[in-house]
Chains A and B, each alone.
Chain A
Amino acid sequence: MKDMNVQTPLVEIKGLEKRFDLDQGFLETLRFRDGRFTRETRAVHAVNSVTLDVNRGEALCVVGESGCGKSTVARLVAGLLTPTNGEIHYDGTRIDDKSRAEMQPLRKKIQMIFQNPYASLNPRMTIRQALEEPVRHHYPSYSAAEVRDKVTEVMMSVGVDPSWAKRYPHEFSGGQRQRIAIARALTVNPEFIIADEPISALDVSIQAQVLNLMLEAKESRGLTYLFITHDLSVVEHFGTRVAVLYLGSVCEVADSATLFSNPKHPYTRALLSAVPQLKDDRPNHIRLKGEIPTPINLPQGCPFQSRCAFANSRCRSEKPNAIHQPDGSLVACHAVEEDRLDQDVIGV
């Protein structure tokens, strides 16, 4: 991977936006206001001008709480959803406006692993059928023996005995199913894998097995990951870089070592402090006011202002832009920019 041009990122996301219309029919859009009917549509602002790069060979983790738009970002990049605005470039070419046919050759380079291995494998297909299908589709020139060899090779590499290939998904445990789902993504020799909460449906001891497998695959196959998760301890372990999302906007992007040792955005700090620590006696939890607002009526200004202890009038009127910090991280916060985060308040 060294000889490739390391300067250009593998995936570039530029000003990505996604809205989901809530009122779709004509009648749904009608409102009765001040004695007359008007038409208005409400939309869920799931992703709001997200700009991110994924470099070759890295594992970019996208973290945030439910409703922050992290899964929507994953689905947009995978081409499962069409963005409302913005661009997605893969290896230098724009992919978000491509037709299905034009996307075909790229599909085998970009693969996705989903959260729930109980739902992502077809219960009526044997493991062999499920794993052979993508190989046949993307490599039509392969002979039956070549397809079989490829599937066997991948099954071995994820630690699933190839002699189990004639079994059905229900005969496997959750951890084994997730291995099979990973195997299915690996059969077509992808270079980029989008994993949407791949371990959150699994037990602790099984999570470690699956994470190890994904790390191994990264090393041996030179993969690049976009890893969506809500679990910060996994991020610290697995991610080389982290993007923190709140209400569809990026708060902070940093190397994971930098983010965990020196979080800057008030939301990142609150999020890190909320993780229950194993050995720490005294939880040093920063309490946030209220709960995440709905993404239907986005507040003006900074999306985090309603829960932020440092919000002032500027935060309430002007949305902060991501600004480069001396240590290389990107932070979208007026308080960080103006250097008015009070260390003492944070420590309490």
Chain B
Amino acid sequence: MSLLSVRDLTVKFAMRDETVTALNGISFDVAKGERLGIVGESGAGKSITGFSLMNLISRPGFVDRGEILFDGEDVVKMSGKRLRQLRGDKMAMIFQDPMVTLNPVLTIGQQMVETLLAHRKLSREEARQIAIVKLREVYIPSPEERLDQYPHELSGGMRQRIIIAIALLLDPQLIIADEPTTALDVTIQADIMELLLELCQSNKVGLILITHDLGVVSQMTERTLVMYAGRIIEAGRTREIINDPQHPYTQGLINALPQQTLPGRKLRQIPGNMPSLTNIPPGCPFNPRCEYATDLCRTRLPEIAQYGEVQVACHEVQRLQAEGERQEQNA
């Protein structure tokens, strides 16, 4: 049985004059110890997905329908007390900006010990010892001294390591990392990603990595979901999706990267913008930007369905696959 199973999750936000659907019937599973990437541009709903898994959606947002089964138990229906047991203990979250995630008026040690004492019957000294072990695991030099330091005394990369150490404190089964390295420099990003990968593999921890960076997803995850305007439009093994994307949006996203075009040539851009959630076009949400759109695409929403190795939500995918094969034969 999978560790996490999301079924038909729909999240809405009640605005002043209308209700906006931020997530529209998304379903996916994460097996124990599996690493899943969620990619998309801003406004696609990837962060909302991450937040709703921990039941962190607060008003005006609400889960309209669907279920999030963690170890067979529905997170959406959990009581406050049960949620507190789950959060941090079974599931942990790493946020984007290490500069604002830590409490600036508490020392690193206080924040780590607090987390441990909230969940386990331990003495302060025992908790401190666990904190030191975890800091050592994320390669923090001289962890004993760090415990008495405040967040502002540490660099961004160091803080993100400490946040990872806090996420790992209670040996969770699943880590949700929402753009964990976007605020960091490339060399630091590479370090943090390597560390996260190593820890997930050695501790058999599941990882949901939310990012806009296809390169990061490609190196970190086994499976990938591509989101667009609150829906999953393509899902499958990361290798397949990167090497042979089926949905025109995924193809566009990969082709738009500068490394996919010869230097100085015109980049293959996707025209237009992601629709605003208040104004999603009828039919396939991607149809106004899609070069293959037909009348069917403009009127009927494509359901996500299995095509070969991957799941795709596109009416034209079979035609596109056939055309692709024909081109390959000709070449």
Binding site for B on A (CB under 8 A): 65-66, 173, 175-176, 203-209, 211-212, 215-216, 230, 232-234, 236-238, 240, 256-257, 270-271, 273-280, 283, 285, 287-288, 291-292
Do most interface residues of chain A lie in helix, strand or loop, or is the interface mixed?
helix
A208 contacts B268, C-beta separation under 8 Å: yes
Contacts A175-B273, A204-B212, A233-B257: A65 and B266 contacting too (C-beta < 8 A)? no
A203 contacts B269, C-beta separation under 8 Å: no
> Which B residues lie within 8 Å of A215 (CB)?
264, 266
Q: Which of B23-31, B190-198, B291-299, B306-314 contacts A (4 or more CB under 8 A)?
A: B190-198
Cα A234 to Cα B155 with chains together (Å): 26
Cα A236 to Cα B194 with chains together (Å): 24
Beyond the given A208-B257, A283-B219, please list 5 additional residue pairs across the A-B interface where CB-CB is below 8 A: A204-B253, A208-B269, A209-B269, A271-B186, A275-B186
Contact among A209, A270, A278 for B254, CB-based, below 8 A: A278
User: Which residue of chain A lies nearest to B256 when distances are taken between CB atoms in the complex?
Assistant: A208
Q: List 15 A–B pairs whose Cβ atoms lie within 8 Å, in order of A's numbering.
A: A203-B41, A209-B271, A212-B266, A230-B185, A230-B186, A237-B258, A238-B263, A238-B264, A270-B187, A273-B190, A275-B215, A278-B260, A280-B219, A283-B190, A291-B188
Cα A257 to Cα B256 with chains together (Å): 20
Which of under 10, 10 to 19, 20 to 34, or 35 or more describes the interface residues of B? 35 or more
Min CB gap B138→A, angstroms: 14
Binary flags per residue of B237-255, CB closer than 8 Å to A gives 1, else 0: 0000011000000001110
Residue B270 is within 8 A (CB to CB) of chain A in the complex: yes
Cα A233 to Cα B186 with chains together (Å): 12
Min CB gap B237→A, angstroms: 13
Contacts A208-B267, A283-B219: A278 and B242 contacting too (C-beta < 8 A)? yes
Binding site for A on B (CB under 8 A): 41-42, 155, 157-158, 185-191, 193-194, 212-216, 218-219, 242-243, 252-254, 256-261, 263-264, 266-271, 273-274
Min CB gap A203→B, angstroms: 4
The 3 A-B residue pairs with the shortest CB-CB distance in the complex, in nearest-first order: A276-B215, A237-B258, A274-B190
Contacts A204-B41, A208-B268: A276 and B261 contacting too (C-beta < 8 A)? no
Cα A277 to Cα B187 with chains together (Å): 13
Min CB gap A70→B, angstroms: 12
User: Which residue of chain B lies nearest to A203 when distances are taken between CB atoms in the complex?
Assistant: B41
B189 contacts A173, C-beta separation under 8 Å: no
Min CB gap A33→B, angstroms: 23
User: Which residue of chain B lies nearest to A67 when distances are taken between CB atoms in the complex?
Assistant: B185
> Which B residues lie within 8 Å of A230 (CB)?
185-186
Min CB gap A289→B, angstroms: 10
User: Which residue of chain A lies nearest to B41 when distances are taken between CB atoms in the complex?
Assistant: A203
Contacts A274-B187, A283-B194: A203 and B258 contacting too (C-beta < 8 A)? no
> Which B residues lie within 8 Å of A204 (CB)?
41, 212, 214, 253, 256-257
Of the listed residues A173, A203, A211, A238, the one surrounded by the most CB atoms of chain B closer than 10 A to its CB is A203
Min CB gap B267→A, angstroms: 4
Contacts A212-B266, A234-B258, A291-B157: A276 and B273 contacting too (C-beta < 8 A)? no
> Which A residues lie within 8 Å of B257 (CB)?
204, 208, 233, 278
Cα A238 to Cα B89 with chains together (Å): 46
User: Which residue of chain B lies nearest to A232 when distances are taken between CB atoms in the complex?
Assistant: B186
Cα A291 to Cα B159 with chains together (Å): 12
Cα A305 to Cα B184 with chains together (Å): 22
A274 contacts B186, C-beta separation under 8 Å: yes
Cα A215 to Cα B267 with chains together (Å): 10
